């Protein structure tokens, strides 16, 4: 059975349209004009049990709204969704007991108490048996390397330490579905890596379904093979991560190490865009279809010591894709149902 | 969840919250003592109005002697210690505005139940810390009191104080829930605070205000327990007041539930 099934989900917000100026503000007291904003528009996707899927998109794209819908925080305007077989916004206690939502910018721990006390509270709220609670807490605490810190008031912890505590708190009841909204936002590189490694290990050990949003490509590359790209409330891409680069980037990067003198910039520009040309290294951005021709021309022209052809970094591709609305594939695409193994 | 389980959860919430509150115990004790300072002003003010500082003077205003006025204010302080809910409305409003409400919606726990037990813990800790300051002040002012009321009245006073706590909680949580519709409720809360100061009888006994204010539920927050403690109600009147108060509590409870359910429909989970 699929862990999550979303069909034609739409969420519209009514936003108060405020116009400039004093008179407009006064008028606004009596008559308000509202604009309907589509936070999520006709979104459909399926996530299989045990999958780890990333939601990509710029701020305001609708990632968080989707997570909120799936965790039952808000009601949709239209469409249907089931998660673990439940309709999220009915907020059944049975469903609440089986999933967890972690938001990088929110905290659910008691500020003035040691994390340990918050964990105890979770034990009771979720009705976790003592022996299981012990076992899970020991596992999580050692995986996240926080055994020294669980006795300290949460307010004294660093952001990275606090995030790790949040993760423990949300995994104590061993949820089948984990929704992560920007889990590494604001963390330093070391903490980011720790969180990534932990998530990867935990997910593969426990085979839980994970849906995460992030705008750190590093997170996504480290964790997920499948990504759903969303922009302006519409799904632009749903499929393997590698496909994104293929689909949204027409270019590849050729790197050369040459012996002797390097060709002039003008000469190289015939093939594509010169990214670097400092002997002995040359870096060229070349249209995908022209790569073979370019390579053979270059092999003829210079004495090459080393050569590599790479896809452009995912981060770059995505950033470009979102800033340039005329980029290929940015017209609303009907999503292909890459449900995976269904 | 079985009932026993639910109580276990609330018991843990109670313990956890108490542990948290005790982190601020010295702040509590000091705050309690300072809260009695305005009483001194009242003692002098009513002394001047009566033209006497003699507790045993039998001149009366609105049915109260000078001593009874002072005793009234002291009792009002005690009643407020039960019925005031600092930070409850604004806390709910903040949870709604900033989106921290989500933890009550994604975890298998009811928000109003949680907040209620948190508040019980808050109050219990407060009483532990504040008992001694209260005893000192009441002892120092013992001459103002008309003497101990009869046992049944004492039971009535205790019941009315407990119910004042419930009334206070339900009214303020209802106000906080308004934030589902108007994100910013601080000015509304300020107005409520001012009205409450009047209408609960905290400022002057309600006998001195127009009759209709006695139809409002606010009098149970201070005025009714005070009047009971001063022996101004017959047993029959006492029973009647407590019964009406109980009906208010049930009505407010269901209003809270209803508004909460409606509010969640409205809720957009603001703040990221």
Residue A253 token pair: 């990067």
Peptide bond into A280 cis (omega under 30): yes
B232, B149 contact by CB (below 8 A): no
Query: Do A61 and A131 lie in a common domain?
Result: yes
| A41-90 residue pLDDT tens | 899 999 999 999 998 887 777 888 899 999 998 889 999 999 999 999 99
**Angle at which helices B235-266 and B151-177 pack, to 10 degrees?**
20
A44, A335 contact by CB (below 8 A): yes
B102, A73 contact by CB (below 8 A): yes
Q: Which residue has the tokens 């009888």?
A: B201
State how far residue B270 is from chain A, nearest Cα, in angstroms.
10
ipTM over 0.95: no
In angstroms, rounded to a whole number, what is the distance separating the alpha carbons of residues A141 and A165?
Answer: 8
State how far residue B88 is from chain A, nearest Cα, in angstroms.
17
pLDDT over 50 (residue B91)? yes
Question: Which DSSP state fits A304?
Answer: E
Average the pLDDT over B228-242 and give the result: 93
**Angle at which helices B111-140 and B66-83 pack, to 10 degrees?**
150
| Cβ–Cβ below 8 Å for B272 and A106 | yes
Phi, psi of B156 (to 5 degrees): -60, -45
Average the pLDDT over A96-108 and give the result: 85
- Shortest CA distance from B19: residue in chain A: A113
* Nearest residue, CB atoms, A13 vs list B1, B9, B268: B268
pLDDT at B268: 65
Query: Do A241 and A266 lie in a common domain?
Result: no
Q: Which of A88, A46, A56 is nearest to A70 (CA)?
A: A88
Average the pLDDT over B152-164 and give the result: 95
| B246-266 residue pLDDT tens | 999 999 999 999 999 999 888
- Shortest CA distance from A99: residue in chain B: B106
Answer yes or no: is A321 within a domain.
no
Query: Do A193 and A294 lie in a common domain?
Result: no
Q: Which residues contact A73 (CB under 8 A, 6 or more apart)?
A: A101, B102, B105, B106, B267, B269
pLDDT at B2: 63
Strands of the sheet with A78-83, listed across from one edge:
A33-48, A2-17, A78-83
Q: Which residues pair with A253 in a beta bridge?
A: A285, A310
In angstroms, rounded to a whole number, what is the distance separating the alpha carbons of residues A265 and A279?
Answer: 12
pLDDT at A336: 38
In angstroms, rounded to a whole number, what is the distance separating the alpha carbons of residues A3 and A48?
Answer: 5
Question: What's the length of chain A?
Answer: 342
pLDDT at A49: 93
Q: What angle do CA B133, B137, B140 make, to 5 degrees?
A: 140
pLDDT over 70 (residue A332)? no
| A155-194 residue pLDDT tens | 889 888 999 999 999 999 999 999 999 888 888 888 888 8
pLDDT over 60 (residue A337)? no
Question: Which DSSP state fits B144?
Answer: G
Query: Do A97 and A146 lie in a common domain?
Result: yes
Helices first, then strands: H and E counts in chain B: 11, 0
Query: Do A71 and A150 lie in a common domain?
Result: yes
Pairing of strands A52-56, A177-181: unpaired
pTM above 0.90, yes or no: no
B227, B145 contact by CB (below 8 A): no
Percentage of chain B lying above the pLDDT 90 cut = 40
Residue A130 token pair: 């003592």
Q: Please tell me if residue A306 touches chain B, with a CB cutoff of 8 Å.
A: no
DSSP string, A72-89: TSS--SEEEEEETTB-GG
Residue B253 token pair: 């409870």
Answer yes or no: is A97 within a domain.
yes
pLDDT over 90 (residue B243)? yes
Answer yes or no: is A317 within a domain.
no
Q: Which of A115, A227, A126 is nearest to A172 (CA)?
A: A126
pLDDT over 50 (residue A2)? yes
Query: Do A52 and A136 lie in a common domain?
Result: yes
- How many domains does the structure of chain A reveal? 2
Query: Do A239 and A266 lie in a common domain?
Result: no
Q: Which residues contact A75 (CB under 8 A, 6 or more apart)?
A: A89, B265
Q: Please tell me if residue A106 touches chain B, with a CB cutoff of 8 Å.
A: yes
Q: Which residue has the tokens 């007041």?
A: B241
Q: Which residues pair with A114 in a beta bridge?
A: A153
Query: Do A93 and A169 lie in a common domain?
Result: yes
pLDDT at A324: 61
Q: Which of A78, A97, A93 is nearest to A39 (CA)?
A: A78
Query: Do A30 and A149 lie in a common domain?
Result: yes
* Nearest residue, CB atoms, B109 vs list A101, A113, A125: A125
Using DSSP's 3-state secondary structure scheme, residue A277 falls into: strand
CA A160, distance to chain mean position in Å, is 18
Residue A222 token pair: 């480290």
In angstroms, rounded to a whole number, what is the distance separating the alpha carbons of residues A224 and A241?
Answer: 8
Query: Do A213 and A299 lie in a common domain?
Result: no
Give the domain extent around A129: 2-246
Average the pLDDT over B235-244 and give the result: 95
Query: Do A109 and A154 lie in a common domain?
Result: yes
Answer yes or no: is A94 within a domain.
yes
Residue A240 token pair: 């393997």
Confidence of residue A241 (pLDDT cuts 50, 70, 90): confident
Answer yes or no: is A43 within a domain.
yes
Using DSSP's 3-state secondary structure scheme, residue B163 falls into: helix
Query: The domain spanning residue A292 has which CATH number?
Result: 3.30.70.1150
Q: Hey, how many other C-beta atoms are within 10 angstroms of the C-beta on A159? A: 14
Query: Do A298 and A169 lie in a common domain?
Result: no
* Nearest residue, CB atoms, A124 vs list B8, B103, B105: B8
Chain A residues with CB under 8 Å of B100 CB are 106, 108
For residue A222, how many C-alpha atoms fall within 13 Å in the half-sphere facing its CB?
A: 19
- Shortest CA distance from A182: residue in chain B: B272
Average the pLDDT over A90-95 and give the result: 91
């Amino acid at each position: 059975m699929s862990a999550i099934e979303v069909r034609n989900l739409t969420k519209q917000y009514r936003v108060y349209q405020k116009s400039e100026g004093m008179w407009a503000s006064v008028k606004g007291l009596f008559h308000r004009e509202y604009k309907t904003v589509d936070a999520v528009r006709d979104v459909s996707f399926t996530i299989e049990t045990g999958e780890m899927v990333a939601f990509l998109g710029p701020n305001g794209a609708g990632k968080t709204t989707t997570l909120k819908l799936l965790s039952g925080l808000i009601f949709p305007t239209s469409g249907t969704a089931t998660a673990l077989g439940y309709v999220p916004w009915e907020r059944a206690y049975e469903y609440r007991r089986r999933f967890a939502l972690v938001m990088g910018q929110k905290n659910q721990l008691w500020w003035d108490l040691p994390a340990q006390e918050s964990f105890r509270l979770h034990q009771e709220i979720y009705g976790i048996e003592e022996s299981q609670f012990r076992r899970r807490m020991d596992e999580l605490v050692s995986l996240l390397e926080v055994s020294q810190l669980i006795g300290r008031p949460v307010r004294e912890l660093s952001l990275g330490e606090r995030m790790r505590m949040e993760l423990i708190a949300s995994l104590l009841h061993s949820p089948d579905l984990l929704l992560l909204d920007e889990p590494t936002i604001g963390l330093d590189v070391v903490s980011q890596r720790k969180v990534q490694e932990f998530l990867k290990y935990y997910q593969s050990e426990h085979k839980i379904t994970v849906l995460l949003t992030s705008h750190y490509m590093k997170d996504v590359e480290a964790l997920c093979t499948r990504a759903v790209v969303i922009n302006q409330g519409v799904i632009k891409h749903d499929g393997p991560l590698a496909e994104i680069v293929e689909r949204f980037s027409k270019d590849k990067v050729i790197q050369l190490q040459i012996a002797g003198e390097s060709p002039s910039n003008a000469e190289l520009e015939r093939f594509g865009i010169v990214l670097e040309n400092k002997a002995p290294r040359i870096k060229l951005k070349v249209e995908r279809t022209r790569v073979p021709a370019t390579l053979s021309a270059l092999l003829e022209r210079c004495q090459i010591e080393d050569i590599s052809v790479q896809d452009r970094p995912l981060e770059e591709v995505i950033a470009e894709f979102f800033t340039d609305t005329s980029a290929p594939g940015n017209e609303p695409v009907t999503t292909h149902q890459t449900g995976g193994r269904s | 969840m079985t009932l026993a389980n639910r109580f276990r959860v609330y018991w843990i919430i109670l313990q956890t919250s108490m542990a948290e509150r005790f982190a601020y115990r010295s702040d509590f004790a000091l705050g309690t003592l300072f809260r009695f300072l305005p009483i001194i002003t009242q003692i002098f003010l009513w002394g001047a109005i009566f033209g006497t500082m003699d507790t045993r003077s039998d001149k009366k205003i609105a049915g109260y002697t000078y001593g009874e006025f002072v005793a009234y204010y002291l009792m009002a302080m005690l009643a407020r210690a039960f019925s005031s809910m600092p930070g409850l409305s604004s806390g709910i409003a903040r949870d709604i505005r900033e989106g921290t409400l989500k933890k009550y919606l994604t975890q298998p726990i009811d928000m109003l139940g949680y907040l209620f037990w948190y508040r019980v813990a808050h109050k219990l800790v407060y009483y532990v810390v504040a008992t001694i300051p209260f005893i000192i002040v009441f002892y120092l002012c013992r001459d103002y009191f008309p003497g101990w009321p009869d046992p049944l009245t004492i039971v009535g006073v205790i019941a009315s104080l407990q119910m004042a706590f419930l009334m206070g909680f339900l009214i303020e949580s209802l106000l906080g829930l308004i934030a589902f519709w108007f994100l910013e409720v601080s000015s509304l809360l300020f107005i409520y605070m001012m009205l409450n100061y009047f209408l609960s009888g905290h400022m002057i006994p309600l006998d001195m205000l127009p009759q209709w204010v006695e139809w409002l539920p606010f009098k149970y927050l201070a005025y009714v327990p005070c009047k009971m403690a001063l022996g101004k109600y017959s047993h029959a009147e006492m029973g009647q007041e407590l019964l009406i108060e109980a009906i208010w509590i049930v009505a407010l409870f269901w209003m809270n539930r209803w508004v909460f359910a409606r509010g969640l429909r409205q809720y957009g989970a603001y703040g990221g």
